[in-house]
Structure 1
């Protein structure tokens, strides 16, 4: 297996862990990037651009499957997109355009319906808004229409009184954040992110992939779990498995808010603006984005210290009504914990179902980004990403 890129002195464990992911954890194609104090210290990529499913389906033919992962290859990062969407709301608050303690209905009057008038903007960011599911799931085409998604979420009766509990808003988080950005700025969230985040930082990151960038994106495919997980438990707890299997559970319904499940390799799906699930990015873009939240990167810093504190101050903790396991959230970001181990206490970021991960750790100055084309069913703690996180932890002596 060829691995290309660079590793700064002291970060050799990350390079070794990245190679082991291919050798022992079934990695097909991936990239990892790490920044420290605004300077890139790890930039690695390897494998093939297009994953092949374990059953052999989804092969491209004509040599496409053997195309190497190159520097600049991008990938769908699923829920890691949520961290970028959260930054949009926190930046609007930082600029005085959005009040985190205001009711969502102040900006979006239709949202007050069916007992949601007390839902606050901060509840949206902390997965406390009470609308993780839709009584009628949306088709992939409907999910791409912002007018349809806004109307569906506004009309939904909450599963609990907003603000009183938390549960992962797997898909609806994207529609909630997108509509707030649209109501406040008049721009779609994909356009706002392109103009206010990706553009100033020079990020290869999109929510709504432009047709001109389509050839850079690899094909994703489900892959088998390895026999061992590099020290991590690979089988979910029985309660989690039962929740995903039960069609009536909040867990199953939250992840099925778009039905049937969209084809992530479909150009139409990638072009849609779904800030909970379909962002496309390189590993470097994810790491550079998080580096800019806590420090300066080539003269650009996005968050003030107050916004960093909002991102990583615990707002929700305990049994998650959707994910079932114990989760911790700040405003828009998962926090270090058993469900989503990051670098250390104080780290904040977001994983993507199936493997991808981005986070920042202000205490060490570390920012991390990992993307992969091999999809696994893990939601928060993929063993490949965790092997890399442990290697970063070793490198910085945490």
Structure 2
């Protein structure tokens, strides 16, 4: 097990698991995120191949009756994009995919209506011009049929952002899954298992509802189940997406009929089927293990492959997010002080996976928050504070293994 601290400085917060003493600041920050019964979550950190933080706290249900456990997983939204991209990099390392090749070389049906020359690298850096999910999925129910959406992506014409970074909020994962299916004959859900979960010995890497017999359980949403916490979100976003205001591009990338129903109810639509860019269900431990394979010399990824994965693809601001995302091949730049070249992928409301090959750090963070009536919640940026504390901790002397107390 990893090295661990023997104290918690967050009053009233039970933090379970283990952590090296040098990461105490990160543990305290982690605990404060869940003060006042605000949901639950987990954090795992690797440093130079050793698991040095593995903690969890809070509640896995809205009623605060089910404590977060060691194998509790969370719907992690766009954190899925980083994991899905990692699968395609494994196929590239095996020689099945070339980043510079046209997508149509592997997926012939894709090479129509002006898409014949779109490369794998362009698809992986949000430059395919296929970001508007409502063009391909006419309802949230159709989103569950990933093969249908793959077929419609292949048959579609790109929009005016072809060649320019414009965040494919939902369609990204299905596009990458279509490439992967073309060269393997397998769905992305199956590839999660064969290419990542089994080689890494991790159980917490799934797409959609893992089912009642799975060795992990899925935390229920804590907070508003409405998209962005907005009443009548489907109608609001539908009309806002039609306006020429800043941010409308992002709204167009997520809008489809029935968006209000996406996360509502005991069996939310977002957990049905495979949405490889949006419905990954991860434990922090498994997510960190994926990024650890990238951050350190591993059997899965030689350093030359990691350098290719991390290569900056465009310095232009993203047209849908209105931010300079620094897109790599399936990841965005995620620098913090002390780790200027780090990268990974954050999900809605702040879950995320992160790697810094320069220092050998890798992080997985998941939780079950949902925002209350905020279109751009400040929680989206909580991972930055955690990462900063983790980087500082990594520079301190190592400590001996000690488990955290069961209550702080």
**Secondary structure of the residue that 1:318 maps to in structure 2?**
coil
> Would you say the 8 A contact 1:139–1:259 is kept in 2?
yes
CA distance in 1, matches of 2:49, 2:216: 29
> Would you say the 8 A contact 2:71–2:215 is kept in 1?
no
How far the C-alpha of 1:322 sits from its partner, in A, is 0.8
How far the C-alpha of 1:215 sits from its partner, in A, is 6.5
**Which residue does 2:177 correspond to in 1?**
178
Report whether the alignment pairs 1:213 with 2:227.
no
For residues 106 and 256 of structure 1, do their structure 2 counterparts lie closer, same or farther at Cα, with a shift above 3 Å needed?
A: same
**Which residue does 1:231 correspond to in 2?**
none
How far the C-alpha of 1:105 sits from its partner, in A, is 1.3
> Would you say the 8 A contact 2:78–2:345 is kept in 1?
yes
> Would you say the 8 A contact 1:47–1:69 is kept in 2?
yes
CA distance in 1, matches of 2:41, 2:294: 24
CA RMSD of aligned residues (A): 2.6
> Would you say the 8 A contact 1:143–1:258 is kept in 2?
no
For residues 379 and 336 of structure 1, do their structure 2 counterparts lie closer, same or farther at Cα, with a shift above 3 Å needed?
A: farther
The unaligned stretches of length 5 or more in structure 2 are: 1-12, 226-235, 243-247, 397-408
**Secondary structure of the residue that 1:110 maps to in structure 2?**
helix
Alignment of 1:97-176 (within 5 A): 97-134=96-133, 135=135, 137-160=137-160, 162-163=162-163, 165-176=164-175
**Which residue does 2:302 correspond to in 1?**
304
CA distance in 1, matches of 2:117, 2:366: 37
For residues 215 and 370 of structure 1, do their structure 2 counterparts lie closer, same or farther at Cα, with a shift above 3 Å needed?
A: closer
1:47 to 50, 54, 58: 58
CA distance in 2, matches of 1:295, 1:105: 33
1:334 to 317, 332, 335: 332
> Would you say the 8 A contact 2:39–2:222 is kept in 1?
no
**Which residue does 1:346 correspond to in 2?**
341
1:387 to 374, 385, 388: 385
Greater RCO between the two (CA within 8 Å, min separation 6)? 2
**Secondary structure of the residue that 2:321 maps to in structure 1?**
coil
Alignment of 1:247-396 (within 5 A): 247-248=241-242, 249-257=248-256, 259-261=258-260, 262-263=262-263, 266=267, 269-295=270-296, 301-336=299-334, 344-376=339-371, 377-378=375-376, 382-396=380-394
**For 1:241-278, what per-residue CA distance to the aligned partner results, in whole angstroms no more than 9, with x for missing partners?**
x9997222321110114742522752664251111000
**For 1:66-91, what per-residue CA distance to the aligned partner results, in whole angstroms no more than 9, with x for missing partners?**
21111111111111111111011111
CA distance in 2, matches of 1:267, 1:396: 39
How far the C-alpha of 1:22 sits from its partner, in A, is 2.3
For residues 392 and 101 of structure 1, do their structure 2 counterparts lie closer, same or farther at Cα, with a shift above 3 Å needed?
A: same
**Which residue does 2:4 correspond to in 1?**
none
1:34 to 27, 45, 57: 45
> Would you say the 8 A contact 1:207–1:278 is kept in 2?
yes
For residues 306 and 162 of structure 1, do their structure 2 counterparts lie closer, same or farther at Cα, with a shift above 3 Å needed?
A: farther
TM-score with structure 1 setting the length: 0.84
For residues 214 and 202 of structure 1, do their structure 2 counterparts lie closer, same or farther at Cα, with a shift above 3 Å needed?
A: closer
How far the C-alpha of 1:110 sits from its partner, in A, is 2.1
CA distance in 1, matches of 2:390, 2:56: 16
TM-score with structure 2 setting the length: 0.82
How far the C-alpha of 1:294 sits from its partner, in A, is 2.7
The unaligned stretches of length 5 or more in structure 1 are: 53-58, 60-64, 225-241
Larger mean CA deviation between 100-109 and 119-128 belongs to: 100-109
**Which residue does 2:200 correspond to in 1?**
201
How far the C-alpha of 1:316 sits from its partner, in A, is 2.0
For residues 176 and 257 of structure 1, do their structure 2 counterparts lie closer, same or farther at Cα, with a shift above 3 Å needed?
A: farther
CA distance in 1, matches of 2:142, 2:187: 16
For residues 259 and 267 of structure 1, do their structure 2 counterparts lie closer, same or farther at Cα, with a shift above 3 Å needed?
A: closer
**For 1:193-236, what per-residue CA distance to the aligned partner results, in whole angstroms no more than 9, with x for missing partners?**
10111111122111244312286111013369xxxxxxxxxxxx
For residues 168 and 392 of structure 1, do their structure 2 counterparts lie closer, same or farther at Cα, with a shift above 3 Å needed?
A: same
**Which residue does 1:235 correspond to in 2?**
none
For residues 392 and 100 of structure 1, do their structure 2 counterparts lie closer, same or farther at Cα, with a shift above 3 Å needed?
A: same
